[in-house]
Structure 1
């Protein structure tokens, strides 16, 4: 089913944290997507009187998002951070992290994360793949004529019965080697759907017609008929009064209903009929093999010419399909060349993958929010939504201007060079190859917008940080109202509100425009009333008890800032 599963994975990974100043709940859910590409980070004691919360929404893979959750917080503690210039510290950290993604050692780490994720997905989705194939088969049947569906299952039943007959046959020690190398035709047991008119007590004419039909069906099922079957069918045709009804020269209603075609199949011998023609050109099940076993001497005169026409029509179709395939390949190569000049680099993590990043730094009662992409941070101000970030979309005027200046294009559906539907992100270095421009002016840039808000505990009681899987389904105000109705309930877990929010946003199926089908990650931070941000050192809780990052285990020398 493309990028979607046959059914959503609704298991949630949730955690709650609390200290003397604030409480935090975080949760994530894979949903309909084939994999979970989000990551998040909650550090209540990132530094003295400073907390950090972030959501990273991956695309093209989860490796950049997971690596960002592990490494980006440590980069924020730079020289600007020490000076209290938190806005500059955030911008510097974003750009430095993005530049590091093309370093060989980092690429090696990203590759290791990708391989580990791929292995985990293979283990988790083994059952999903089989179920998805069955669903795809049902979708195809929905568009097939009823005659084709009946023939399809009839052939399956006959093949199964032939195998059973081969096993039951005295002296039989093994199954036929191939479905095209069928055992000699034998009487088969009747299925429950067969009519009583096929009993042995029927008239001789009915018996002959039934035998003729059975031998014809055998050829349709297997594509190749043995000489013995051909002889038996010919004998039946010669001795029966109904020969003209089923042979290639007749066009009466019986022949048309039997084969599901207005004209008879091409006239050829069994030896000349290839297995690929067993279902006919239109796939309806009318077969040249089935008709050729009943040909009379008059048919043989035109068989050669008809065979040439039949084979030519197949070759023509093959050539046209080949030409169309070549044109599609050329178009794909042209599209890829716009994004990436080097084909080898297309599959390199950090170049063909990336992530959005929205990060909230709470310093005493001041909130700094850095954003690159379309994840979002919203603060509740007297139950009113206050957006602390803006979604970065290619069609927005400032974003479009930069993309065009860097040599890119934006499609009608808002995609850069026909690919990424974001204008800012970490990673995605296939879009950052203009050597004449700094990283802040590339088609896709990691430069974050930073907004600052002075918090007042009597007005702003919580903030929500989430990926676009939430915001595509609900507006900022709708999310604030959803949380506001639940956040003050006694003994409520903030993570449980996140879980309810996921269920509210989850689409019932994948038949729509994709809304509600994305990964979902959310962090809710509640500011405790009448509490000051300053605390003495002996009152601070252990960072291991109140901090969490959803990320892979990596070797890190910055354990003081990433827990």
Structure 2
């Protein structure tokens, strides 16, 4: 079944913990669960630390692609890199998070960490069954193609065959670039291994093939192919700062309303596509940068961060996070952080309602596990990929100490595992 298993791996890795709530001074409880699901490997990672050594807390989710190495590298090193920032020591959490995201990029680019990234990726790799890089359901670079994209591609090709090579509704006799053509028309510059990030001009980033009229990526490759979207929440006293690069997401249940703590970055959005084009790249009709990545911000993906003419935050794929900072209020209930495998299935409101309807009577860990069981697809082909991705979900109950639950046992530290180290 291409990029999917014949049946989902629903085994869950759940950890729980507790601390003092910054909202009311009672108990805060959290739970984090990850599940491989239908994917042939688990590429997510996360952080749940309720004390960074200075009383600050950090909760984060990293959604890996091209392997789990970069996601697990961020899981291992992000907190240390954050604490080393001078601006962090000075109290500017937002600026420190930005410097941390880019600092991790620099570390990933360094040959010093190359072996570690490879080892971390290999430790988490859990391939099952046949298929692999370049197999059905993946593009030439091993990026996941969702069934909905495959269906759309098939319909386009079928329509074009009926119209003598023309796209339905279009005048161009040459089809636009798609993931299938990308698999057989990868430029020689992409397949030539290099030592590290090359320095190229925007005019050498991509080109149009005169034979087909299709845009092609000309970027030299990088030894580290992997990357990860990153959403990181740091709680300092009653202030929470969320840094987001990509389409993982965080949301706060504020009394009876939903307060977004991040917004997704998609290549097709106006702000993202403009930056990509200015850096010399392009977004194809499937919303993929240079015909490959279906995301526009991430840590890693260094192949797309080589244009010498633009700043780090202006690269076609950038680690530059957007920031949202807010003061936690007495009526705030809980925080939800998840990878896009969660948010493909649930809106912010649906996720908050799911937790809210259970949090007065259930352990947080049971809520998180039930949520993953509820949204995993019975057949990702039938749901066009929805519910077929890796899933990582973190819920932080800010008012746990005020809830009167008859649970038959505590949900405190170590109930299903300890705090991440």
Does TM, normalized by the shorter one, top 0.5? yes
User: What residue number does 1:495 align with?
Assistant: 365
Taking a change above 3 Å as real, the CA distance of residues 435 and 371 of structure 1, as seen in their structure-2 partners, is: same
> C-alpha distance in 2, partners of 1:444/1:4?
27
Pick the aligned partner of 2:277 from 404, 421, 436: 404
User: What residue number does 2:349 align with?
Assistant: 477
Taking a change above 3 Å as real, the CA distance of residues 31 and 447 of structure 1, as seen in their structure-2 partners, is: same
Which segments of 5 or more consecutive residues in structure 1 lack a partner in the other structure? Answer: 131-327, 532-540, 550-562
Matched, 1:468 2:366: no
Query: What SS does the aligned partner of 2:51 have?
Result: strand
Matched, 1:429 2:279: no
| Aligned-CA RMSD value | 2.6
CA-CA distance at 1:514 after TM superposition: 0.8
> C-alpha distance in 2, partners of 1:515/1:10?
15
Matched, 1:451 2:321: no
Q: Are the counterparts in 1 of residues 192 and 221 from structure 2 also a CA contact under 8 Å?
A: no
User: What residue number does 1:97 align with?
Assistant: 104
Taking a change above 3 Å as real, the CA distance of residues 336 and 504 of structure 1, as seen in their structure-2 partners, is: farther
CA-CA distance at 1:113 after TM superposition: 2.2
Taking a change above 3 Å as real, the CA distance of residues 103 and 33 of structure 1, as seen in their structure-2 partners, is: same
> C-alpha distance in 1, partners of 2:386/2:180?
30
> C-alpha distance in 1, partners of 2:122/2:15?
27
User: What residue number does 2:30 align with?
Assistant: 24
> C-alpha distance in 1, partners of 2:191/2:314?
19
User: What residue number does 1:34 align with?
Assistant: 40
Q: Are the counterparts in 2 of residues 335 and 418 from structure 1 also a CA contact under 8 Å?
A: no
Query: What SS does the aligned partner of 1:502 have?
Result: helix
> C-alpha distance in 2, partners of 1:94/1:110?
16
Give me the TM-score of the superposition, normalised by structure 2.
0.74
Taking a change above 3 Å as real, the CA distance of residues 337 and 450 of structure 1, as seen in their structure-2 partners, is: farther
User: What residue number does 1:509 align with?
Assistant: 379
> C-alpha distance in 2, partners of 1:59/1:367?
28
Pick the aligned partner of 2:69 from 42, 63, 67: 63
> C-alpha distance in 2, partners of 1:5/1:529?
38
Q: Are the counterparts in 1 of residues 413 and 419 from structure 2 also a CA contact under 8 Å?
A: no
Question: What are the within-5 Å matches in structure 2 for residues 478-557 of structure 1?
Answer: 478-489=350-361, 492-511=362-381, 512-528=383-399, 548-549=419-420
> C-alpha distance in 2, partners of 1:329/1:468?
24
Q: More helix by proportion, 1 or 2? A: 1
Query: What SS does the aligned partner of 1:41 have?
Result: strand
Give me the TM-score of the superposition, normalised by structure 1.
0.56
Q: Are the counterparts in 2 of residues 44 and 547 from structure 1 also a CA contact under 8 Å?
A: no
Q: Are the counterparts in 1 of residues 15 and 417 from structure 2 also a CA contact under 8 Å?
A: no
Q: More strand by proportion, 1 or 2? A: 2
CA-CA distance at 1:335 after TM superposition: 3.6
> C-alpha distance in 2, partners of 1:342/1:438?
25
Matched, 1:47 2:53: yes
Question: What are the within-5 Å matches in structure 2 for residues 119-138 of structure 1?
Answer: 121-122=126-127, 125=128, 128-129=129-130
> C-alpha distance in 2, partners of 1:481/1:432?
39
CA-CA distance at 1:330 after TM superposition: 8.9
Query: What SS does the aligned partner of 1:501 have?
Result: helix
> C-alpha distance in 1, partners of 2:237/2:105?
28
Pick the aligned partner of 2:87 from 61, 80, 83: 80
Taking a change above 3 Å as real, the CA distance of residues 530 and 493 of structure 1, as seen in their structure-2 partners, is: closer
> C-alpha distance in 2, partners of 1:424/1:104?
23
CA-CA distance at 1:108 after TM superposition: 1.7
> C-alpha distance in 2, partners of 1:496/1:331?
43
Pick the aligned partner of 1:385 from 258, 266, 272: 258
